[in-house]
Amino acid sequence: MRLGILSDAHGNIEAFELALAVLADAKADAIYFLGDAVGYIPEKGVVSALRSSGIQVVRGNHDDMLIRQTTAADREAIYRHRETFALLSNDERDFVGSWPSKLTVRDERGTILFVHGSPKNPLEGYVYPDSSLSDFAEVDADIVFMGHTHHPFVRQHADKLFVNVGSCGLPRGRDLRGSVCIYDPGERAAEIIRFNISGPCRRILSRYPLAPPVASLLEKCADFKANEVQS
């Protein structure tokens, strides 16, 4: 069974749908979403899509702030949580509130941990491509899948595989394409797949007035060309 893993859509429903199409093309048999369906873009489409799917979901920090209504006043203009919360039906609010902060899957091939942040801080821990993994050597899992940083990587440490799947809807860094991961448990192999989200980002910009830092990032994503990535 091949697993498809994606994260950090942040309301970019068209990019999320593209990501699902990429995973379908990669023959994913089961799909996991690692949180942050909302935030930055005042849109509920990703929540609605997740609710009507068989995708397993873990909660992200933006989902948590939105559903518990704990967003700091000085961040609301950027995060747009109140607007998004108002768009959700009561059933959709209950659905987001039901998402766990972590998910563990065990079988004869080992243990997989799915979190949004890090193994030690599932909601808010940051694990970047150059972060030390030594603190996670004793984690009770053979493979750890994460999101949150919007910077994808696949790394081996202490006989464990650590994968950050990046962001399908609001990537950061030098490569501003969306990213997903396909994982083959039989081969114990994880592959990051990048895909163009310039069209969805351009349409988001035409649809919503966004905070300057968010609009600036989306403009860069909209204009990004893969050959701009330096080898």
CA distance 122 to 189: 23
Pseudo-torsion of CA 72, 179, 58, 211, nearest 10°?
A: 20
Does residue 230 form part of some domain?
Answer: no
Q: Which two tokens stand for residue 33?
A: 């979403």
Residue range(s) defining the domain that contains residue 51: 3-225
Does residue 45 form part of some domain?
Answer: yes
Q: Are 84 and 66 a contacting pair, CB within 8 Å?
A: yes
The three-class DSSP label of residue 173 is coil
Does residue 13 form part of some domain?
Answer: yes
Determine the pLDDT at residue 109: 86
Q: Are 36 and 63 a contacting pair, CB within 8 Å?
A: yes
The three-class DSSP label of residue 151 is coil
Residue range 115-138: mean pLDDT, rounded = 97
For the chain, where are the E strands, in sequence order? 3-6, 30-33, 56-57, 102-107, 110-115, 143-146, 153-157, 160-164, 178-184, 189-195
Determine the pLDDT at residue 228: 67
pLDDT for 1-29, tens place per residue?
Answer: 899 999 999 999 999 999 999 999 999 99
Does residue 14 form part of some domain?
Answer: yes
CA distance 56 to 99: 9
CA distance 163 to 192: 9
Give yes or no for residue 231 having a pLDDT over 50: no
Does residue 106 form part of some domain?
Answer: yes
Determine the pLDDT at residue 225: 87
Bridging pattern class, strands 143-146 and 110-115: parallel
Residue range 186-197: mean pLDDT, rounded = 96
Does residue 231 form part of some domain?
Answer: no
Determine the pLDDT at residue 14: 98
pLDDT for 57-101, tens place per residue?
Answer: 999 999 999 999 999 999 999 999 999 999 999 999 999 999 999
Residue range 202-228: mean pLDDT, rounded = 94
pLDDT for 30-57, tens place per residue?
Answer: 999 999 999 999 999 999 999 999 999 9
For 70-224, where are the E strands, in sequence order? 102-107, 110-115, 143-146, 153-157, 160-164, 178-184, 189-195
Residue range 158-169: mean pLDDT, rounded = 97
pLDDT for 170-188, tens place per residue?
Answer: 999 999 999 999 999 989 9
Determine the pLDDT at residue 1: 87
| pTM exceeding 0.85 | yes
CB within 8 Å of 152: residues ≥ 6 apart: 129, 163, 164, 165, 166, 179, 181, 192
CATH code, 131: 3.60.21.10
pLDDT band at 229 (very low <50, low <70, confident <90, very high): low
Q: Count structural domains, the chain.
A: 1
Give yes or no for residue 230 having a pLDDT over 60: no
Give yes or no for residue 212 having a pLDDT over 50: yes
